[in-house]
Amino acid sequence: MRAMEDKDIKQRIVYLRAVLEENSRKYYVENAPAISDFEFDTLMHELEALEAQYPQYASEDSPTRKVGSDLEQSGGSPQAMEPGIRREFAQYPHAHPMLSLANTYSIGEVEDFAARAAKTLDHGFTYSCELKFDGTAICLTYRDGKLFRALTRGDGVIGDDVTDNVRQISNIPQTLKGSGWPEEFEIRGEILMPYSSFDRLNAQRLRDEDQPFANPRNAASGSLKLLDPGEVGRRGLWCTLYHIAGDNAGFATHEEALDAASSWGLPVSDKRRICHNISEIKQYIDYWDTERRNLPYATDGIVIKINEISAREALGFTAKFPRWAVAYKFKAEQALTEVLSIDYQVGRTGAVTPVANLSPVPLSGTVVKRATLNNADQMALLDIRIGDMVYVEKGGEIIPKITAVEKSRRPAGAVPPVFPTVCPDCGTPLVREEDEAKWFCPNSDGCPQQIKGRLVHFMGRKAMNIIAGDATADQLFSKGLVKSPADLYSLDKYRLMSLEGWKDRSAERFLASLAESKSVPFPRVLFALGIRYVGETTAKEVAVHFRDIDSIASATVETLLEVPDVGEVIARSIHEFFRDPRHAGEVQRLRAAGLRMSMEEPTGPSSEALKDLSIVISGTFSISRDEMKALIEANGGKNSSGVSKKTSFLLAGEKPGPEKVRKAQELGVKIISEADFMKMLPQTDTEEDGQFPGSLFDTMI
């Protein structure tokens, strides 16, 4: 019997470790958490208790002894990531380990934390209480008063270098002000996405039929690892800093250190408070559990730290946590409300999404009336009925989500809703592809909602930037003037003035924006076509790789897979789009209207020095990766995303990806440095002056 119990315990421990590691990867690497923080923490605490009770099953590799890592791991699921996320960053060690915090949902455990500290320390001490910001951890290094490097938490020992992206965050100073800062120091904090920026980003993603981010933390983390620093700047990220690592630059207390950091121009929170006992800590927690709903950014708890540096040194660290700090986490706010009805919305790609209409209920500072149910599988999992009382949750999840059904209050006779078998807009039978969670209407050119959705997408700011919105698209379609984007370019002032509400000035502005759209660069034209799964960044990558629409249209799936960040699903979607004669005809009409269907040729230096060479780049260089790729193409070379037998050489910069280096060595592919690569190119006066032609890429997009 005892052996059976031990076996069951060991199996439970193995299971918990596997679940926690999988969900840690989803949270930190993919930014697509599958379970709530509370569920994750509950499983972690269960594993901690079992390992403490049965030390024979303890392991150094257990999630209880490791910091959650945001470093890319083999076996991950890039498809779950946002398109445009970098797969490789240079990596550097932290000067001091970047640990996480022990957390609790119990005020009793906060009392235990304070009691343990008092028992260990032989002198009085105070607490610094601070908001626990719901963002992604960052470590900034300043050298001689200037921002030198920005690293993610990584695995706590090394982190990804995201300096170029962090420089785009407006409240992070490039140069410190005042005086008194150490010659070099690390300061840590969080990168946040304020609610206003989050709402704008998700509204755009929904218009593009991209999966919206579940919460600002995921959005901030995903944004920090984008390919394009300019796009990072447009995301509206914000930073708050809360800890100078190491010896705290000689300060006696944590509070003094943060006050000094603030005087240097660093963004330090003004919401912190010094507490002298557990009663004051409770008051601080109670205040912010309510007041946090009025903040412009997400918080999910309170961090309580010992304020005195000498006391911290006496308390020390565990393998994973500092013993001088603990995080008290707020429970997510819930509300119970009734499901009034369920609508089925059709998007521009034909995806049918169920949405629950709810009896209005106040939640986290807003009134919630609707909540998406995602797909038919989610509806079945919830076992939801019209008339059910359901729990709606926001907390860190800014998008309202139905988490459970209160079945004890289910009305008699309630029957499961039937997911439609035909399109609710045009009546066409729905289809569901093998690997898809959603049902789709295949009538892409006859379904009114899809047509109007594509028109809105085409005219959007990040696409053709035509001055119009949903109402204009609906009006133009309903009056029979526009059934496809190409029809827009046949409109004239006379037809527009015949529509209700149109005046001379509005018609002229609309036609002027149509004319201006003809100068939109090719990558944005490709994005505007609305190919399923092809977002803004992917469109740019594909456009730069193939150079013109005809090359993309004739590309095979295998050729499309050579584009960085294009996987099997995206490649097949692009290939199938251009195989459709209707789409091919639409492209020709847009070409005839004067839209750009190719990249502008670079005006910088060019040669055939790299002709017929297939080159893979990895790591960081003296110029950006995009500039390096442009330099390769300008000299006749071809950029390839993966190392194969056909690769001419691997161009390795600083901190190249270990997997690419390993594969190159296995296949006998030559690995060359940036310096050796530059020697292969024709020398120019600018190169001799040490300035490589970085303007090449600027002329291409």
Task: Tell me if residue 274 falls in helix, strand or coil.
Answer: strand
* Phi, psi (rounded to 5 degrees) for 532: -55, 135
C-alpha span between 595 and 515 (Å, rounded): 10
Handedness of CA 267, 270, 271, 273 (dihedral sign): positive
- Type of residue numbered 592: A
Taking alpha carbons only, the member of 515, 350, 306, 524 closest to residue 449 is: 350
Beta bridge partners of 130: 303
564-587 CB burial, b ≥16 within 10 A, e <16 = bbbeeebbebbbebbeeeebeebb
Q: 3-class secondary structure for 94-130?
A: CCCCCCCCCEECCHHHHHHHHHHHHHHCCCCCCEEEE
The alpha carbon of 291 is separated from its chain's Cα centroid by a whole number of angstroms, namely 27
d(CA 217, CA 195): 10
Torsion angles phi and psi, residue 654, rounded to 5? -75, 135
CA 132 to chain centre: 20
Sheet of 127-133, strand order: 103-104, 325-329, 299-306, 127-133, 273-275
Can you list the pairs that 76-81 forms with residues at least 24 positions away whose Cβ atoms lie under 8 Å?
76/25, 76/29, 76/30, 77/30, 78/565, 78/567, 79/567, 79/569, 80/26, 80/30, 80/32, 81/29, 81/30, 81/31, 81/32, 81/222
| DSSP 8-state class, residue 239 | E
What's the burial of 102, exposed, middle or buried (CB within 10 Å: 0-12/13-18/19+)? middle
DSSP 8-state assignment for residue 82 = P
Q: Which of 7, 26, 119, 132 is catalytic?
A: 132
Check: CB of residue 71 under 8 Å from CB of residue 160.
yes
Q: Choose among 374, 384, 313: nearest CA to 347.
A: 374
Centroid of chain to Cα 499: 41
In sequence order, the 6+-apart residues with CB closer than 8 A to the CB of 515 are none
Q: Compute the residue count for the chain.
A: 701
Sheet-wide strand order for 184-192: 146-152, 136-143, 184-192, 238-244
- CA neighbor of 521 nearest in space, from 500, 551, 543: 543
Query: Is the Cα dihedral 245, 250, 254, 255 positive or negative?
Result: negative
DSSP H/E element including 93: strand 91-93
Is 132 a catalytic site residue? Answer: yes
Give the phi and the psi of residue 226 in degrees, each rounded to 5.
Answer: -75, 155
Helix (H, G, I), strand (E, B) or coil at 425: coil
Query: Which residues form the catalytic set?
Result: 132
